[in-house]
Structure 1
């Protein structure tokens, strides 16, 4: 059905409207309206049947009543409510009996009736299957072990006659069977993927990173860049010039710059060409004023856990940033909770929960048995009718992991704006070791430049009020949160240049997961940074030093980094990744970057005594 169906005349025929139109036509011609049309068999008597149907469906809140059609089995177009001003257009309707014969001959010639019939056939044929094949060989269409039940399609395979509605019921039963099997297969495959990717390839006893041995000499794994420096410099210059034109609403110059950028950019090109493509998209959206709509559409797209895991696997295979941050956080939790009977993790931004299977696996091997694990998974509400669906799915997935590894588990799901959460919502119990964890998500909290009561301050105040045993924070360290557009644009350009260059150093240009990651993560973030303003701009990173000042003001102090952990993380990255990745420390921050540019930072905090 067309998306604008409500604006178009309905395909159903209203008999009362047809009758009124015919009567007015006869009066205009100066002829008497036939009495058979007023009282004849052409229309049901006593106000019932078709005329009653027409009158009851003109209301937007009318209820459908069709024999043999249950509510959940209706075609989707029958479930669509009609607005009160809906127009039912009328056409001729063939009827039975003598009256109908006189009605047909008095209104239309035979050729016109033939034309009407042909038009009806043509319209009906649009809804028929395109293929002429009425019987399908199931063996050739359904793969083995797909969960298809041959018995559900017996009537089609044997040629036995059954009623129209019964066939539809069987189709629905078959569809449900297929869906259940698909869900089972997906969960099994997903579990195997989790094991392979998140448990580092095995389900045996895990080895602590501080006990792992690495070669003392790092392997040089970098490769030369394929693009010319001049071309990169020219594209960056064009992008900055275009941003300056956009900032002063010089549309002629901006459009000319965009035209030149488009000639040298592509989502399938090298790193600088891909970077230019997404920045050009964002500049164009800012110029047109459509940035918020595009960003919202990109953010609304729901990605399955399986697809997200594949993208994550591709990402961590070439980039250590998130993997190192997770190892740092999980190792810190294991070390600090060695004697805890109950561990309560409050995870701000739990998302798909990729961080926790490895920790659950390690806890299951703890001497003396695993502790009780409680996780409060916090996310922003999703759009739609089930705002907490995603965070609940993550909880079910983690519960299966804990059941598998015999780790006692409780889960508390919260899906609301983080600054509105109260301490009571966290359900902290006395005597448990409370870990507050947040990896890279505080960058999406609004700051005091947008709202007086800063959500950043509110969330940090909430964490301090919860008085956790430890607070583990990983931040994206960026400078592109300036209120001035051109300054912000330059900083964002430098930041994302490093990320696109990093992907280009290891991944093929046509890699499907690379394309997905760059479009749905980097591209979406760039759209928000460049084309959105005010409360709609949610990509607001700060440098790790700015975050340090915030967390100290909130009443926390940093714990020193573990030297052995730092050494082994550095060796792991140097031996497993490109030589241009940097890992270092500054004070009590673990820093990660690319070619000298700091991208991520991690630290461990405890409440200060004062």
Structure 2
């Protein structure tokens, strides 16, 4: 290996999102006591938006609501802030936690039965520049309060009153039977029945206990104040009922976090990736199926000489055409044939056909939105999601290359800046930023002050910003470890309603805006005349950042014409399922979660939902390029060293069928010739 290749490899390892530091960052998330109970945050927030229009129609209000007027209910509690800030002056207080779980259990085949990650937790941060202990966005209205009871005419507050004392018997008269209170849909084992009793119990107990914990630079444990929900109702202007489980155990300290990866976790990650590739290859050989056959299915030992070749792709397209024509008889017959030759445990094509059949069946029955909502509300724990995320990163280079290119670009462009402000549209768990903080801490002359504004859609319930606040607290703890001056600002509201003053931009800051693969969830012109995508891009242009890094999911299945959209989404997910088939063993539980809870759910939304309820609306990177240019940006190329490092890593460490290429100034990534992701860098004109 040449010395230049070694240098590139070293550079990549330093910026890789799975250095020692980022692995410990994810370890911390897995160690949280209530992580097993928390759902993946994105799945709830997107469903919240999809439900808004129908809910406002029911209560007789115009949608979309104005961001200025607040709910009459919330106005009784006083002013509610738009954003939540956290400042880290290197004085966080922590204590050792009890658990012994760590990310290495993912590599261990016995991790599935592990009971780790339940003995320690993280205390959510409370904003330092606001007096409220609970929070909601101004754009958040009554639908956030009653989100989990949208199917019922009874709000959680009314329900709590009816369950008090002598009123409980009278309340039971108005409550429908358990089997009618919440609609549960089960499509071929896709969904589990939801229990309404747990939801009601959670709301009632939350109203009684109303416990709120605080995490600030001066303390790690907050006070627990029990409060009767109905007493002094009008005087309670500083607290709102909490429905999230809070933790009694503070955040576990990172014990041996190194400035630069020591290689231990990197070697383990590389070994895990190699094991996945070997096991996947062996699994395909043992199955006796030629690679890429897609539809061959043997009919027992006696029929080994006869192979029934089923073209599942043709069956799916024919079924979609029948569904579009409202031909129930033909569509049901085709779905029956697809069911006979598909399975969630078969090869990649069979799994794809199984989940697409779910979508077609839901569209035919007109239950797409109900099934999607039930899928979103299903309790997939964040811990399980993180384990699947780790496996996904080991099997594909998409996210790792994205983080490498964006972090390296920001650090290179901001070399002389003493204040760096990153505005992240769609921050989620913030996996990208621990490595960024680690790298910028080693900058010559000392690190700059880093401000991160984390933006995401509001979560259902009383605390729409709770989870992105927790992300900020973790990042603050991480910045403290590397002595990086840090400030975090959380904004939980619709992106198109964000105002300049919410972002708190200072004049002397090097401002960077990132939006990585989440623009597809914004509504386009086919739904609303004033596109949310245009509004967000105009906001970013108004910010006038020094750098705008834009990552897009390259897809052409946002068209309103169903059959055309179905063909495109079929081709798109065929590449993704084939990628998993080639790189992850079939029996791997993490693969099942990725296919069912992520890819399967997204495909169902595209196939079975329309209008406001269809939240998956990707466009091609060339379409986004037109939007960016129209908004007043000009494209700038990535540094050649960054491009060389990304290409080298993909071609030397991952399967040969992964694609990495350039088109203009876009960095393209895909599988077997199909471009799936694209990332580019822009600056205002």
**Which bin holds the TM-score, normalised by the shorter protein?**
0.5 to 0.7
Task: Spell out, residue by residue over 1:237-269, the C-alpha distance to the aligned partner (whole angstroms, 9 max, x if none).
Answer: 110011011111111111111111111111111
Deviation at 1:300, TM superposition (A): 2.9
Q: CA separation of 1:79/1:277 partners in 2, compared to 1, >3 Å: closer, same or farther?
A: farther
Matched residue pairs, number? 430
Segment drifting more, 397-406 vs 482-491:
397-406
Report if the CA contact (8 A) 1:227-1:270 is conserved: no
Matches of 2:657 and 2:160 in 1, distance apart? 63
Matches of 1:600 and 1:376 in 2, distance apart? 24
Deviation at 1:311, TM superposition (A): 1.5
Report if the CA contact (8 A) 1:199-1:358 is conserved: no
Matched, 1:374 2:451: yes
Matches of 2:162 and 2:672 in 1, distance apart? 65
Matched, 1:443 2:520: yes
Matched, 1:420 2:497: yes
Look up the match of 1:326.
403
Report if the CA contact (8 A) 1:300-1:383 is conserved: no
Matches of 1:467 and 1:302 in 2, distance apart? 40
Look up the match of 1:43.
none
Q: CA separation of 1:451/1:228 partners in 2, compared to 1, >3 Å: closer, same or farther?
A: same
User: For the aligned residues, what is the CA RMSD?
Assistant: 3.0
Matched, 1:498 2:586: no
Matched, 1:409 2:486: yes
- Which consecutive unaligned segments of at least 5 residues does structure 1 have? 1-58, 66-77, 88-177, 207-218
Look up the match of 1:83.
171
Map residues 458-469 of structure 1 onto 2, 5 A cutoff.
458-469=535-546
* SS of residue matched to 1:508: coil
* SS of residue matched to 2:311: helix
Matched, 1:528 2:605: yes
Matches of 1:299 and 1:311 in 2, distance apart? 17
Aligned counterpart in structure 2 of residue 594 of structure 1, from 642, 647, 671: 671
Deviation at 1:200, TM superposition (A): 6.6
Report if the CA contact (8 A) 1:221-1:579 is conserved: no
Matches of 1:60 and 1:478 in 2, distance apart? 46
Q: CA separation of 1:322/1:82 partners in 2, compared to 1, >3 Å: closer, same or farther?
A: farther
Map residues 15-94 of structure 1 onto 2, 5 A cutoff.
61=161, 64=164, 82-83=170-171, 85=173
TM-score by length of 1: 0.66
Matched, 1:514 2:598: no
Report if the CA contact (8 A) 1:235-1:272 is conserved: yes
Matches of 2:481 and 2:487 in 1, distance apart? 14
Map residues 99-118 of structure 1 onto 2, 5 A cutoff.
none
Matches of 1:351 and 1:80 in 2, distance apart? 40
* SS of residue matched to 2:678: strand
Q: CA separation of 1:340/1:237 partners in 2, compared to 1, >3 Å: closer, same or farther?
A: same
Counting helix residues as a fraction of each chain, which structure ranks higher? 1
Report if the CA contact (8 A) 2:665-2:680 is conserved: yes
Matches of 1:488 and 1:461 in 2, distance apart? 28
Matches of 1:406 and 1:244 in 2, distance apart? 60
Q: CA separation of 1:222/1:517 partners in 2, compared to 1, >3 Å: closer, same or farther?
A: closer
Look up the match of 1:607.
684
* SS of residue matched to 2:450: strand
* SS of residue matched to 2:549: strand
Deviation at 1:222, TM superposition (A): 9.6
Matched, 1:228 2:293: yes
Look up the match of 1:361.
438
Segment drifting more, 486-495 vs 385-394:
385-394
Matches of 2:376 and 2:471 in 1, distance apart? 19
Task: Spell out, residue by residue over 1:442-494, the C-alpha distance to the aligned partner (whole angstroms, 9 max, x if none).
Answer: 01111111100100000000000011111000100111111100000000000
Matches of 1:410 and 1:306 in 2, distance apart? 27
Q: CA separation of 1:526/1:368 partners in 2, compared to 1, >3 Å: closer, same or farther?
A: same
Deviation at 1:228, TM superposition (A): 2.3
Q: CA separation of 1:201/1:392 partners in 2, compared to 1, >3 Å: closer, same or farther?
A: farther
Matches of 1:297 and 1:381 in 2, distance apart? 18
TM-score by length of 2: 0.59
Q: CA separation of 1:468/1:302 partners in 2, compared to 1, >3 Å: closer, same or farther?
A: farther
Look up the match of 2:660.
583
Q: CA separation of 1:431/1:81 partners in 2, compared to 1, >3 Å: closer, same or farther?
A: farther
Report if the CA contact (8 A) 1:591-1:600 is conserved: yes
Aligned counterpart in structure 2 of residue 474 of structure 1, from 541, 551, 555: 551
* SS of residue matched to 1:436: strand
Deviation at 1:565, TM superposition (A): 1.4
Matches of 1:544 and 1:81 in 2, distance apart? 59
Task: Spell out, residue by residue over 1:501-558, the C-alpha distance to the aligned partner (whole angstroms, 9 max, x if none).
Answer: 0000011111111111111110110011000001111111111000000000000001
Task: Spell out, residue by residue over 1:68-121, the C-alpha distance to the aligned partner (whole angstroms, 9 max, x if none).
Answer: xxxxxxxxxx9968428569xxxxxxxxxxxxxxxxxxxxxxxxxxxxxxxxxx
* SS of residue matched to 2:513: strand
Question: Which structure ranks higher in relative contact order (CA pairs < 8 Å, sequence separation ≥ 6)?
Answer: 2
Look up the match of 1:238.
315
Map residues 221-370 of structure 1 onto 2, 5 A cutoff.
226=291, 228-229=293-294, 231=296, 234-301=311-378, 303-370=380-447
Report if the CA contact (8 A) 1:195-1:203 is conserved: no
Task: Spell out, residue by residue over 1:559-606, the C-alpha distance to the aligned partner (whole angstroms, 9 max, x if none).
Answer: 122222111211111111000001000100000110000110000000
Find the structure with the greater CA-based Rg.
Answer: 1
Matches of 1:60 and 1:563 in 2, distance apart? 61
Q: CA separation of 1:259/1:560 partners in 2, compared to 1, >3 Å: closer, same or farther?
A: same
- Which consecutive unaligned segments of at least 5 residues does structure 2 have? 1-158, 176-244, 267-276, 285-289, 297-308
Segment drifting more, 381-390 vs 540-549:
381-390
Matches of 1:603 and 1:499 in 2, distance apart? 22
Matches of 1:245 and 1:201 in 2, distance apart? 58
Matches of 1:593 and 1:292 in 2, distance apart? 30
Deviation at 1:202, TM superposition (A): 5.2
* SS of residue matched to 2:656: coil
